[in-house]
Amino acid sequence: MTYFGTLDWLVVGAYFALVTWIGHRLSGRQSNVHEYFLGSRSLPWYAVSASIISTTVSGVTFIGVPALVFADGGDFRYLQFCVAGFISKWIFGHWIMPKLYAGSYASPYDYIRDRLGSRFGQLSALLFFAGAILGQGVRIFAVSLVLELLTGLDFTWCVSLSVGVAVLSTWLGGVRAVVWTDVVQFVMLIAGGSIAVWYVAAEYPGGFTALMSAADDAGKTRIFDFSTDPLVSFTFWAGIFAMPFQNLAAYGTDQLNTQRMLCCRSVSEARRALYASNIGEGVVVLFLLVGVSLWGFYGREVIDPAFAGMVAENTDRIFPAFILSELPSGLRGFMVAALFAAAMSSPVLSALAETSLTMFHDGHRRGTLADADAVWLSRLLVAFWGVALGGFAIMLGGTDERLIPLAFAMTAYTYGSMLGLFLMALFIPKRYIRQPALGVVASIVGVLVIDNAAMFGLVESGKLVAFPWLFPLGLGLCLGVALLPVGKHHDLESGSAT
């Protein structure tokens, strides 16, 4: 409380009030689930594009990316992963998105159900549930750490506050509220990062030019790493050959992202929204510059003793510590509000609720569920998934893992098998698919063992490979086992052998 004054609380409160007002303003339009979850496919492409950026650039980016540069030996090598975004978005927009729009599908799991049968559509949805809780729980964990530092409240209460605002906004306004809230969050992301860079550069001797020159001399602006060591995370080869699989799974099979693109008026507008979201890579550059600014600032200043021990324990805390201890009142409140904006979990709550209803409610699939009942049930599902997401974030309390590797590793457990099922549904004739369920199991177990090699006694300590390579390995295991030409061909709809 020493670091946060009345003006700061007023600024944060104003942000929460704005988010809630957006949900309330749009609440009257939610008469059916097509409107509640897809905005009646009438949202403008530019709003959807901003929403895509806000969804992919999360609180993990806000906190974790600056810490990558600030840390000893840190630099700009994370930028190599941006290449994966360009590759995967072109593939998805050119080859996959038209198929989803042509069939008026609400999710990739609908497409899988249509092509491979209901049980595999539901299996892919269950994988999404698991991956969403694992990956998005890290977002809530990240912002709750800051809220804990800020207020002195118990970590559990901090998680509850973070999730509660997201549940309320989504409950009221559906996906329209989510998208327009994401637009606000996008603006706040840009403003928050720019303020941090400007604040440091204004005080740095020689300004921004001198700061960047010093960073370059210290090796902080290094971008490319051509190491072939599979244990090195941020390399050119990982960005070209590994992370495109992660990105393709994120945009094509993770309803958190896919739902946004299915809200546009047409496939051409959805494609425009997706391609325009490439400017989001500029947001990554901005937060790398924030990391340089923090490095420059604390090269001349001492970290506030109240935060020094926590930063030494985990450098992910450096940006929140800077915000709370160095920025003036009011500006400090805005930056914390921007952090909340980056970490809001409302997009995933909408996606989880939609998938639960469309994939598992028989009445909805048969068309016997009344519109009013469907909307009410959807809101209950939003609340249910909010509790589940918050519960996992609480379970993460106390971990000392770095946020960027932790967030990616969480999604690696399910992305390989999700992408495998989707690619089989898209491109592989049914007669060649032998054991898809076994492929899913092999992918999940394989990634689990590889990522926890020391625990399974495969190595004395550490890992077999860095996290980027988990994604192609998971996909390869899923497809390799599912398409292995042994055993009898299975009727994917009935499950009987032929």
Reported as a single tens digit per residue, the pLDDT across 299-312 is: 999 999 988 887 88
Which pLDDT value is given to residue 40?
59
Q: Of 343, 275, 242, nearest to 16 (Cα)?
A: 343
**Can you say how many angstroms the Cα of residue 347 is from the centroid of all Cα atoms in its chain?**
10
How far apart are the C-alpha atoms of 136 and 139, rounded to whole Å? 5
229: left (phi over 0), alpha (psi -120 to 50) or beta: beta
For the cut 70, the answer to whether the pLDDT of residue 252 exceeds it is yes
What would the pLDDT profile of 54-66 be if each residue is shown by its tens digit?
777 766 778 889 9
Residue 34: pLDDT band (50, 70, 90) is low
Tokens found for residue 80:
């190599």
C-beta of residue 160 within 8 angstroms of C-beta of residue 32: no
Overall average pLDDT of the 262-285 stretch: 90
Q: Locate 494 and state its tokens.
A: 């009935």
- CA-CA distance, 52 to 281, in Å (whole number)? 12
Given a cut of 90, whether residue 224 has pLDDT beyond it is yes
Q: How far apart are CA 492 and CA 126, in angstroms?
A: 18
The predicted structure's pLDDT at residue 361: 79
Tens-place pLDDT, residues 255-273: 878 888 888 889 999 999 9
83-131: per-residue pLDDT in tens?
Answer: 999 999 999 999 999 999 988 888 899 999 999 999 999 999 999 999 8
Q: Which residue has the tokens 């800077």?
A: 322
Residue 264: strand pairing partners: 43
pLDDT tens track for 40-51: 577 888 888 888
* Closest CA relative to residue 109, chosen from 124, 94, 119: 124
Residue 395, pLDDT > 90, answer no
pLDDT digits (tens, 9 = 90+) for 177-213: 667 777 887 888 889 899 999 999 999 999 999 999 9
CB contact at 8 A, 251 and 53 = no
Q: What is the DSSP letter of 490?
A: B
Report long-range pairs for 226-235 (Cβ below 8 Å, ≥24 apart).
230/464, 230/465, 230/466, 230/469, 231/462, 231/463, 231/465, 231/466, 232/466, 233/405, 233/466, 233/467, 233/468, 234/77, 234/78, 234/80, 234/81, 235/77, 235/80
Tell me the per-residue pLDDT of 473-486, one tens digit each, with 9 for 90 and over. Answer: 999 999 999 999 87
Percent of the chain with pLDDT over 90: 41
Over the chain, what is the mean pLDDT? 84
The pLDDT score that the predictor gives to residue 317 is 83
Distance between CA atoms of 127 and 413, rounded to whole angstroms?
9
Tokens of 157: 């209460």
Tens of pLDDT, residues 434-476 = 899 999 999 999 999 998 888 888 888 778 999 999 999 999 9
Q: What is the pLDDT of residue 492?
A: 58
Q: Which residues touch 170 (CB under 8 Å, ≥6 apart)?
A: 23, 177, 178, 346, 349, 350, 353, 382
Q: What does DSSP assign to residue 43? A: B
DSSP three-state, residue 497 = strand
Task: Tokens for 316, please give them.
Answer: 């992910």
Whether pLDDT at 1 is above 50: no
In the chain, % of residues over pLDDT 70: 87
- More reliable by pLDDT, 154 or 230: 230
pLDDT of residue 399: 64
Question: Given a cut of 80, is residue 148 above it in pLDDT?
Answer: no
Q: Which positions ≥6 away from 431 have C-beta within 8 Å?
A: 489
Residue 472 pLDDT: 97
Which domains occur in the chain, in start order?
Answer: 6-404 (1.20.1730.10)
pTM summary value: 0.84
Predicted local confidence at residue 398, as pLDDT = 65
Render the burial of 268-291: b for 16+ CB within 10 Å, e for the rest: ebbbbbbbbbbebbebbebbbbbb
Place of tokens 């192609």: 472
Report d(CA 265, CA 281) in Å as an integer.
Answer: 25
H helices present in 204-279, as ranges = 207-217, 236-237, 243-252, 255-261, 267-276
Tokens of 457: 């006694």
- Alpha carbon distance 71, 316 (integer Å): 9
Q: What is the pLDDT of residues 331-369, one digit of tens each?
A: 988 888 877 776 665 567 878 888 888 888 777 677 777
Q: What contacts 399, CB < 8 A, 6 or more positions away?
A: 141, 406
The span from the CA of 370 to the CA of 228, in Å, is 57
